[in-house]
Structure formats: C-alpha cells, structure tokens
C-alpha cells in the first residue's frame, strides 16, 4: 500500500530528476510511478517536509523543487546502483553516504503535487 512522503528533485522544462543522481539520472513524473530497475537501488524520499527542507539547506547548492509523493517502502536500507563496464557488472554502493535524518528508501515513487514555499 502506498505511503505519503516528500521527494526533492531537480527540474528542467517540466522534467524532474533525482536531486543527487550518483551516476544514474532517474526521471520522476507527476501522477505516474517511477519504479526502480535491477541496475538501481532504492530511491530516497523523506518522511516529512521538515526533513526535506533541512536536507536542502545543508546539502544542496542549486535550485530544486519539493513534491508531495506516494511511495512503496523498500526493505533495503542503503542506496546503490550497478555500473556495467566491458560487460562486467560492478555495484557502486553508497555506504559512505550517510542518509539524512528522515530518509526512507523506496522501491517506487509517484509525484503528486509541488509544494510552493
């Protein structure tokens, strides 16, 4: 069952991308589910607006948008993606990345509406 949360994204020409892509540019959509692939670990969403705003203030130095979203929670607790070099898969783990307080790992995300400050 989907839960409610907050997603921070970069945007360009009504297209929405992960705020911190780490090598993969995941695109998100209003009203449509973005589902993780086998090459992608969970997506990061926030439990509430307070945690999202703190993340933006402390981490990001470029314009972003904040959206209400729905998500399905992942059992995974870390972010990662898989690089393929010369047909050999390498997992790029983001264990070194300390997830901000209030982060939830999600298997799929659907943007609902933009939060305007």
- What is the per-residue pLDDT across 2-50, written as a single tens digit (0 to 9) for each? 999 999 999 888 899 888 766 567 899 999 999 987 777 788 899 999 9
The continuous run of DSSP H or E covering 89 comes out as strand 88-93
CA 28 to CA 35: how far, in whole Å? Answer: 9
Q: What is the DSSP letter of 101?
A: T
Q: For position 81, what pLDDT does the model report?
A: 55
Q: Which of these ranges, 63-72, 93-102, 106-115, has the smallest mean pLDDT?
A: 93-102
Q: For position 97, what pLDDT does the model report?
A: 57
Q: Model's pTM, two decimal places?
A: 0.83
How do strand 33-35 and strand 88-93 relate by DSSP bridges? unpaired
Give per-residue pLDDT as tens, 48-62.
999 999 988 888 778
* DSSP calls for 15-83: EEEESS-TT---EEBBTBEEE--TTB-PEEEESSHHHHHHHHHHH--S--EEEEEEEEE-S--S-EEEE
- Dihedrals phi, psi of 23, to nearest 5 degrees: 95, -25
CA 53 to CA 6: how far, in whole Å? Answer: 10
Structure-token match 């203030």, residue found: 57
Higher-pLDDT residue of 83 and 12 is 12
């Amino acid at each position: 069952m989907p839960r409610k949360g907050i997603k921070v994204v970069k945007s360009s020409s009504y297209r929405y991308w992960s705020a911190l892509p780490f090598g993969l540019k995941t695109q998100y959509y209003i009203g449509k589910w973005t589902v993780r692939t086998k090459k992608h670990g969970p997506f990061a969403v926030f439990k509430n607006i307070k945690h999202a705003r703190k993340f933006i203030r402390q981490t990001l130095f470029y314009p972003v948008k904040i959206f209400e979203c729905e998500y399905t929670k992942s059992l995974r607790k870390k972010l990662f993606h898989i690089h393929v070099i010369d047909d050999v898969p390498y997992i790029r783990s983001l264990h070194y990345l300390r997830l901000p307080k209030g982060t939830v790992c999600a298997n799929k995300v659907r943007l609902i509406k933009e939060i305007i400050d």
